[in-house]
Structure 1
Amino acid sequence: MNAPAAAERSVTIANDAESLIDLLRLRTAEVASKRILKLSGFGIVRLALDKGQTMSEHEAAVPILIQVLCGVVDIEVDGATERFETGGIVYIAAHVRHALHAVESAHVLLTLADAATRAPSDRAGVGGTEVGRADAAAEPEQDGDGAERAHAPSPEHRALLETAVCECGVVEGGAFPELDVREVPHSIRHATVFGALDSLRPRDGLVLVASHDPLPLLAQIRDRTGDRFAVTYLQRGPEAWSLQFVHTGDDPAR
């Protein structure tokens, strides 16, 4: 695959089906995943499931397409299961619960809509407000006397919110350990988060719980790590903000 860039007019991902499948190999220990495209408009993720492997029920924050490149997969959507074989494809709207089970070894292509299409969930605490709303609260700063004060989000923070969606579009509440920083002293709060994130390996994650929307912290994380972490809001107040961080390092195709 050519190195993608937002300014590119075209990007060749694969020239044929064999090349597309060769981008990611099966892993016996776990479902393998690899981001193969991320540009304005949509993203594409490759999944490889060995026979018997399952992606447990979850939901996506944006509309998705799941296409079976080869193999046999049972896909459960809203409790109803349908079998898909090579060439099968299904559309799933945002926040619709679904799960995958490999009946036979399978290679799957996951296409994600742009984060701008992200829909609010009808379930409290997940996607409860649209990303990038102008009235989103910012993390309080401290005055000279140590008192916290709020400020309006900057254009950079709003841009950060617009991209705050899990890389694979998946929200799996409770799948990762929780780091509640509400009781951590403000002077070391950000350093604590940085240390926790730095300890994560590809595909590992954590759920950060804060007393306010941590926009400046998100900006700092992005400055330090670039696109290493995908961020999904799981809860937006009023008493707590909960954000899921997932390390997006690609699995090596081996």
Structure 2
Amino acid sequence: MKTASLIKDLQYNDTKPAIQVLIDTEACKEIRITFREGQVMKEHKTSFPIVVEIFEGAIDFGVNGTICHLKKGDLVALEGGVPHDLKALETSTVRLSLNKADSTKRVEDVARNS
């Protein structure tokens, strides 16, 4: 059994979203992304399906030129290969569920280069 918390030990970066792997199992990876208001993750995509949960705050989630206003409690699922971007409308915590074959480094690189 592995446990983690979406609310304990929150970390933020001044200029870019902060990425923290919470759980890494044989089947999936659960990642916490913390945003300060106004921080973005520029358009990117992955080869694998993902699920994004807005745990706290509000995010503009762009998909193929359409912006979805997501708030606390909202979920979105995307198939692989779908370009998307995120912009924090307020301080926010996002849970990202990744396929095991996907790379945490890829997510870190998106945040670092945004």
**TM-score band (shorter)?**
0.7 to 0.9
Larger fraction in strand: 2
Matched AA of 1:40: E
Shift of 1:204: 7.0
Q: How large is the Cα RMSD of the aligned pairs?
A: 2.3
Instruction: Decide which of 83, 87, 91 is 1:101's aligned counterpart.
Output: 87
* Gap regions ≥5 residues in structure 1: 1-9, 15-19, 116-164, 176-202, 206-254
Matched AA of 2:94: V
CA deviations 1:217-252 (Å, max 9, x no partner) are: xxxxxxxxxxxxxxxxxxxxxxxxxxxxxxxxxxxx
Could you say which residue in structure 1 is the equivalent of 2:53?
Answer: 67
Matched AA of 1:89: L
Larger fraction in helix: 1
Please state if 1:167 is matched with 2:104: yes
The structure with higher relative contact order (CA 8 Å, sep 6+) is: 2
The alpha-carbon distance between structure 1 residues 84 and 166, as it changes in their structure 2 partners (threshold 3 A), is same
Shift of 1:21: 2.0
Q: Share of identical aligned residues, percent?
A: 26
Could you say which residue in structure 2 is the equivalent of 1:55?
Answer: 41
Match of 1:73, SS state, is strand
- TM-score if structure 1 supplies the norm length? 0.41
2:54 and 2:72 in contact (8 A); partners too: yes
CA deviations 1:117-148 (Å, max 9, x no partner) are: xxxxxxxxxxxxxxxxxxxxxxxxxxxxxxxx
Instruction: Decide which of 8, 12, 35 is 2:3's aligned counterpart.
Output: 12
Q: Which has the larger radius of gyration?
A: 1
The alpha-carbon distance between structure 1 residues 44 and 169, as it changes in their structure 2 partners (threshold 3 A), is farther
Please state if 1:38 is matched with 2:38: no
